[in-house]
Structure 1
Amino acid sequence: MAPTQISMITTHSLLQLLTRLPHRGAATPHEREAAQLLVDTLAEAGAATRLMPFQTPKTYATVVYWIIGGLLSSIVLVISNGFLLQQVGLVICGIALTQAWLYFNWRHASVVTWPVQHTALNVLGQWPVADRTPPTRRVVLLAHYDTAPVSALYNPKQQRDFQKSLQLSLGVMTLTAILLLVHTAVGLPAWGFWLLGLVALYLVAQAILGTVGFWNQGYTNGASDNATGVVAAIETAKRLRENAPPGLLVEVVLPSAEEVGMIGAHAYWQANKGRFAKEAATTAVINFDTLGAGKLTVIERTGTVEMIHYDSPLTQLARDLVSRPAFQNRAQVGRWHTADFDSVWFVRAGIPTLALCALAPDGTMPRIHRPDDILAAVDETPMHDAVDLAEAVVREWCATPL
């Protein structure tokens, strides 16, 4: 099913409005402008809307500095040879290492709540059941609207090796703890101190490489990542409102601070996890992320060291649709191990979830976290394909007995 001409004009207009802002960085004035634009757009489409404030660091630089700063501080304290200082250093090292393993395996880490905190906004919109009867099913259409800091770690070569890079970094951080424990227990030989020095240099280099792009160039415009996802989520909601499946309640959730660590989505999840637990069998979540270049991809697995499997009935429906003539040349099934999606909280909780993005033939997302992620570089084809596929999945899900 091809998008109608009216639909194409509407989606392109919203895409233009979102990308006219220089960026939509979490907890910035431009984020608030974007939030108001999205509230107005949802309200015009007939949704009941609200803003959900939550606390977050502005960028992941804060988190990286806390973790690496903690590890470097622990090295200094442990090699000081004062017993009390050594014990304090080991405690700091343990805390920093634990936070790193949680954060880079896309679990909630308390480090994201450490200073400095700012207020960001999730945008929520909900349409009632079309015939005003009690809802029997709920679909949550999820897409973050904040934009990423520019980062050298996301050039194409680095992106292809991002999972290995994170695994290496976690390995080096773990090695730090092992060396410090050995030094405290029996002392390190000369080569051990050299190794510890190399570890410290590696950690400093990673902190610089991961954040220097932001300090030099600020945020990306975020046309593909993720204005396209936002437009796809809203357009899918509009489509589902036309000839709506009986008993379907449609909700659009547009989180901020995804680029900090899926924090806005986690705040939404925490506020609603009781409802999701009760309605797990009748709830579906579809996440749209970065649909401005490449081929529409149904994600089947993510993760760094711990693997996260997207194998719910919703993903199975999408896989089946991708094999049919209507979608077999427009979409594919794939994996994504460079960071994760807002949907991670729902997948881990066993909520039926589908994650859609667009990937280049080499498995990368073109231009993400880079200065050239602008509207002129966007190919809207995968965005429209995502809307078509998401609508088809929801309609088939609604027609499937629970």
Structure 2
Amino acid sequence: MALKARQILTLLSEWPHRGVGSDEEMEAREMLMAHLTGEIGVEVAEEGFFTPRSYLPFFWAIALSQCFFIAFSGYGSLVMAAGGLMVLISHMRFFDWRVTRPIWLLARTTTANLVAKKGAGRRLIILMAHIDSAPASFAYRPEQVPHFKTSVYLSTGIISLGFLVPLASLSGLDVPWFIKAPIILLTIAQVVMASLDFWRFGYTPGANDNLTGVAAATEVASRLWAKMPEGAEVRLVITTAEEAGMLGAQHYWEQHHEELKARDTHVLNFDTVGFGQLSFVLESGGFTPVYYDGALPHAAHALTKLNKRFAGVKEAKHHVGDFDSVWFCRDGISSLTIAAYDENGMMPYIHTMEDRAEHLDLDVMDEAVAFGEAIIRTLPKR
């Protein structure tokens, strides 16, 4: 009997949140592991790593570093300008959803990805979803979400002053303190705004983002394990630290890179599939776009055209943040994310304390399960 998404959702909803590295996250993961060990022939393991508890320590490190370089721009201007440039590049890489090494310097918390697998063969099918819940965020309040990209660009402009002010000093145009002081205050103010809701509320319940994805990915994996695709291994990878910068998926990709590239690998990610119009994402990205192409997107597209049941599933462009699948897509690995959006192309309630179970439409989650399984079974044989 396959595990059911609704059952998994109910079990994991017992915890008020699943913040990265928290007891709640560990207990929820252990509960899921206990149920996966009952699957016949399935190997279950954890892959531990160190991580920051959210993206906020990185934001604070970026802001305080730039304040330092601005404040002491008149002393060793070349060193200050070089430091400001490196910090600016790190900021831009983070918001372009690329590997940003400095964030790992802030890793102080132990956590783990959960991996369950069955089967063997050259083809590797990975069902992925992140279990951690997000810090409450001012930027995701309903009135702020439409301006998310604008706020990122404004933030980048402010952070760039940590390079431009020392550069001006290096050029002989020393910036006076009556200009430096407001810049430093503005730099601190923006990171205070980013932290404000987390200080007030902590981690969100994360029902839609992303208990629905974990539940859907688990049921799809269970269905496939019950009737295995020929010549394939089916692997369920429940990541964490997605809300710290998709670090759990990045860690998994880096640790398994050689294997993933050597095999016929397909990564199907489920993220926020509990409300709105079920969709598959063909474009995401920050400053530069990420385009999803290959076997999984092609199979999803074919299903919506050839199978009447999935005619209502839409192609989507993701506008806010990104998904765990980004590492695999950029590496040329067949990958795709299934998500759901409202009529405005947004994901309501996420990263807020309103992301609770009562706001879910479980029929959308069930549709994500059926669509995900159908995509995998539609993949052409090689």
**Same fold by TM-score, threshold 0.5 exceeded?**
yes
Q: How far has the Cα of 1:363 moved from its partner?
A: 1.2
Aligned positions, number: 380
Letter of the aligned partner of 1:246 in structure 2? E
How far does residue 195 in structure 1 lie from its aligned partner after superposition? Answer: 5.8
CA RMSD of aligned residues (A): 1.8
Structure 1 residue 35: Cα displacement: 1.4
CA displacement at 1:111 relative to structure 2: 2.0
- 1:273 — aligned with what? 257
Instruction: Find the counterpart in structure 2 of residue 160 from structure 1.
Output: 146
Amino acid in the other structure paired with 1:12: R
Q: Is the 8 A contact 2:70 2:165 kept in 1?
A: no
The 1:179–1:226 alpha-carbon spacing in structure 2 relative to 1, beyond 3 Å, is same
* Letter paired with 1:159: V
Residue 4 of structure 2 corresponds to: 10
- The whole-number CA distance in structure 2 between the counterparts of 1:294 and 1:188 is 54
Structure 1 partner of 2:339: 357
Partner Cα separation in structure 1 for residue 175 and residue 207 of structure 2? 53
**Matching of residues 147-296 of structure 1 within 5 Å:** 147-188=133-174, 196-279=180-263, 282-296=264-278
Alignment partner, residue 32 of structure 2: 38
**Amino acid in the other structure paired with 2:287:** V
Q: CA deviation at 1:346?
A: 0.3
- Aligned equivalents of 2:225 and 2:65: distance in 1? 50
Among 28, 38, 48, the alignment partner of 2:43 is 48
C-alpha displacement of 1:277: 1.5
CA positional deviation for 1:257: 0.4
Aligned with residue 336 of structure 1, among 303, 307, 318: 318
Q: Any idea what the Cα deviations from partners look like across 1:179-238, whole Å, max 9, x if unmatched?
A: 331232121577xx6665554333222201111111111001111110000010010012
Indicate how the Cα distance of structure 1 residues 162 and 178 shifts in structure 2: closer, same or farther if over 3 A, else same. same
Decide whether aligned partners of structure 1 residues 210 and 377 sit closer, same or farther in structure 2, where only a CA change above 3 A counts.
same
- Report whether the alignment pairs 1:66 with 2:50: no
CA distance in 1, matches of 2:216, 2:138: 28
Question: Is contact 1:66-1:111 (8 Å) kept?
Answer: no
Cα distance in 2, alignment partners of residues 395 and 401 from structure 1: 10
**Is 2:85 the partner of 1:94?**
yes
Give CA-to-partner distance per residue, 1:230-255, whole Å, 9 cap, x none. Answer: 01001001222333321121100001
Alignment partner for residue 285 of structure 2, among 303, 307, 330? Answer: 303
Is the Cα–Cα contact under 8 Å of residues 81 and 162 in structure 2 kept in the other structure?
Answer: no
Give the deviation of 1:116 after TM superposition: 5.2
**Structure 1 stretches lacking a partner, 5+ long:** 1-5, 130-134
One-letter amino acid of the counterpart of residue 379, structure 1: D
Stretches of structure 2 that go unaligned for 5 or more consecutive residues are none
TM-score (norm 2): 0.94
Q: Secondary structure at the match of 2:98?
A: coil
In structure 1, distance between residues paired with 2:329 and 2:119: 25
Label 1:313 to 1:199 Cα distance change in 2 as closer, same or farther (>3 A).
farther
Structure 1 residues 124-146: Cα deviation after superposition (integer angstroms, max 9, x where no partner):
100125xxxxx131110010000
SS across alignment from 1:51: strand
Displacement of 1:343 after TM fit?
Answer: 0.8
Letter of the 2:168 partner, please give it. V
> In terms of mean alpha carbon deviation, does 270-279 or 106-115 score higher?
106-115
Q: Is the 1:176–1:196 contact (alpha carbons within 8 Å) kept by the matching residues of 2?
A: no
Provide Cα deviations, 1:313-362, integer angstroms capped at 9, x if missing partner. Answer: 21122122123422112x11111121111111100110000111111111
> With structure 1 as the length reference, what TM-score do the two structures score?
0.90
- Following superposition, the deviation at residue 108 of structure 1 comes to 1.4
Deviations 1:10-40 (A, max 9, x none): 3222111111101111111111101111111
Contact 1:151 1:212 in 2 (8 A): yes
Query: Could you tell me how far apart the structure 2 residues matched to 1:37 and 1:213 are?
Result: 29
In the alignment, the residues of structure 2 paired with residue 319 and residue 201 of structure 1 have an alpha-carbon distance, to the nearest angstrom, of 49
Q: What CA distance in whole angstroms lies between the structure 1 residues aligned with 2:351 and 2:127? A: 23
| Partner secondary structure for residue 389 of structure 1 | helix
Amino acid in the other structure paired with 1:296: L
* Equivalent position amino acid for 1:21 in 2: W
- Say which is worse superposed, 311-320 or 194-203, in terms of deviation: 194-203
For the 8 Å contact 2:266–2:333, the answer to whether it is kept is yes
Instruction: State the one-letter code of the partner of 1:313.
Output: A
2:168–2:175 contact (8 Å) kept in structure 1: no
Work out the CA distance in 1 between the residues paired with 2:232 and 2:257: 20
Change (3 A) 1:323 1:165: farther
Give the letter for the 2:221 counterpart. Answer: A
Identity %: 31
Q: Which residue of 2 aligns with 1:112?
A: 103
What's the secondary structure of 2:310's corresponding residue? Answer: coil
Contact 2:270 2:338 in 1 (8 A): yes
Quote the residue 1:347 is aligned against.
329
Q: Post-superposition shift, 1:167? A: 2.3
Which residue of 2 is the match for residue 136 of structure 1?
122
Check whether the contact 1:102–1:108 (CA below 8 A) recurs between aligned residues: yes
